[in-house]
């Protein structure tokens, strides 16, 4: 029986596509691992170049608090108050599934994640994972979609009186939305199959940050309080752990492997465990850089040329094409972005 090379926990079952390497995390120690299937034989190994996460996340440290949060079975990510209000108002006005509601599902990472989670959940066990929002909604049917949206509108919302934290999650929301649209456009330009699946990968590439910001808003431990009081330290902590958290969440929701790999490897696409996922991860990586370069993110706009970005060395988009995508999406999302502002966060 295969076991974790770090904590030696035995794995009762493993899942991997035949002939491909995939990433998963140990449920006990939360280290990212590689699993390779050949026939009925599975091989588990550490990801090259990564240390044991427990060395960087000892008990009672902020990293330890994060690892503990990942052990929660049903952690519910809160929705931004403005998004929850918009969904609730739209449901009250229409009462039925309409295009306006579909646009709302497609404009927020937490809402997208919930829809994908339900559509790939146990009730649909045995079916192939859905890869895009339209397919998820079609599988669920209008009644289930409306019930899920109603639960989201009435569920927990992200609330904080910390202005730095409010701005950070607002910046992240803008960044996720812009990245999703960029990823879909890049995939379409390259004639990749089902560009809408790249929209989901782009929308959820930083979903780990949502759990981290929620943890910072809710957790009262001394370690988390110390991080929350320093914007610089908070940013460093988010950057260090968000990819691991994103991997855990996307796998818990049984999302397609390409989405999970993009969540973990979008800063280092060369870490993608298999050629099957390398192009999609490069697309999300370049889209991520385009969003930052356009001023949508927690960092200052990236000044380096997108034309010379490592992922564009693989994708080979022209500078004219990159500029056209950025300008088109900026114009397309301007009103959506203006309607969700930090002041609504409490």
- Alpha carbon distance, N-terminus to C-terminus of the chain: 50
Rounded Cα gap, residues 194 and 252, in angstroms: 23
Torsion, Cα 56 300 108 275, to 10 degrees, reads -60
According to the model, what pLDDT value does residue 188 have? 97
139-156: buried (b, 16+ CB within 10 Å) or exposed (e) per residue?
bbeeebbbebbeebbeee
- What percent of the chain is modeled with pLDDT above 90? 50
According to the model, what pLDDT value does residue 5 have? 94
Rounded Cα gap, residues 59 and 78, in angstroms: 26
**pLDDT at residue 253 greater than cutoff 50:** yes
Q: Which of 119, 106, 109, 99 is nearest to 256 (CA)?
A: 119
CA angle, corner 246, sides to 46 and 111, nearest 5? 155
According to the model, what pLDDT value does residue 83 have? 87
Rounded Cα gap, residues 210 and 341, in angstroms: 17
**pLDDT at residue 272 greater than cutoff 80:** yes
Q: Which residue has the higher pLDDT, 21 or 283?
A: 283
**pLDDT at residue 56 greater than cutoff 90:** no
According to the model, what pLDDT value does residue 341 have? 53
The full set of domains in the chain, from first to last, is: 1-55 (2.20.28), 81-154 (no CATH), 163-345 (1.10.3210.10)
Q: Which two tokens stand for residue 103?
A: 């646009």
Q: What is the pLDDT of residues 205-241, one digit of tens each?
A: 999 999 999 888 888 888 888 888 888 898 899 999 9
Across 204-322, where does the E strand assignment appear?
none
According to the model, what pLDDT value does residue 282 have? 98
């Amino acid at each position: 029986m295969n076991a974790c090379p770090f904590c030696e926990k035995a794995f009762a079952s493993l899942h991997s596509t035949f002939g491909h390497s995939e990433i998963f995390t140990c449920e006990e120690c939360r280290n990212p691992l590689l699993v390779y299937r050949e026939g009925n034989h599975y091989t588990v190994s550490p990801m090259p170049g990564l240390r044991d996460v427990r060395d960087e996340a000892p008990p009672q440290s902020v990293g330890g608090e994060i690892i503990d949060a990942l052990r929660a079975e049903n952690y519910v990510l809160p929705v931004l108050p403005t998004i929850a209000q918009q969904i609730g108002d739209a449901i009250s006005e229409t009462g039925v599934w309409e295009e306006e509601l579909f646009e709302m599902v497609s404009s927020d990472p937490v809402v997208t994640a919930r829809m994908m989670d339900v559509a790939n959940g146990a009730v649909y066990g045995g079916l192939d994972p859905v890869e895009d929002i339209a397919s998820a909604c079609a599988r669920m049917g209008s009644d289930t979609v409306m019930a899920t949206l109603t639960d989201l509108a009435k569920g927990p919302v992200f609330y904080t009186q910390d202005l730095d934290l409010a701005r950070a999650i607002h910046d992240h929301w803008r960044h996720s939305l812009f990245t999703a649209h960029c990823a879909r456009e890049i995939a379409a330009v390259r004639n990749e199959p089902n560009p809408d699946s790249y929209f989901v990968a782009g929308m959820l590439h930083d979903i780990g940050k949502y759990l981290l910001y929620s943890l910072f808003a809710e957790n009262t431990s001394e370690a988390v309080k110390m991080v929350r009081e320093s914007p610089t330290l908070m940013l460093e902590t988010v950057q260090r752990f968000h990819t691991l958290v994103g991997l855990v969440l996307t796998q818990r929701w049984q999302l397609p492997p390409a989405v999970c790999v993009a969540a973990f490897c979008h800063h280092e696409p060369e870490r993608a465990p298999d050629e099957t996922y390398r192009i999609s991860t490069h697309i999300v990586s370049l889209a991520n850089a385009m969003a930052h370069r356009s001023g949508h993110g927690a960092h200052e706009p990236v000044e380096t040329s997108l034309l010379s970005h490592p992922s564009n060395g693989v994708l080979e988009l022209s500078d004219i094409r990159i500029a056209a995508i950025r300008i088109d999406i900026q114009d397309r999302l301007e009103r959506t972005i203006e309607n969700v502002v930090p002041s609504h966060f409490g």
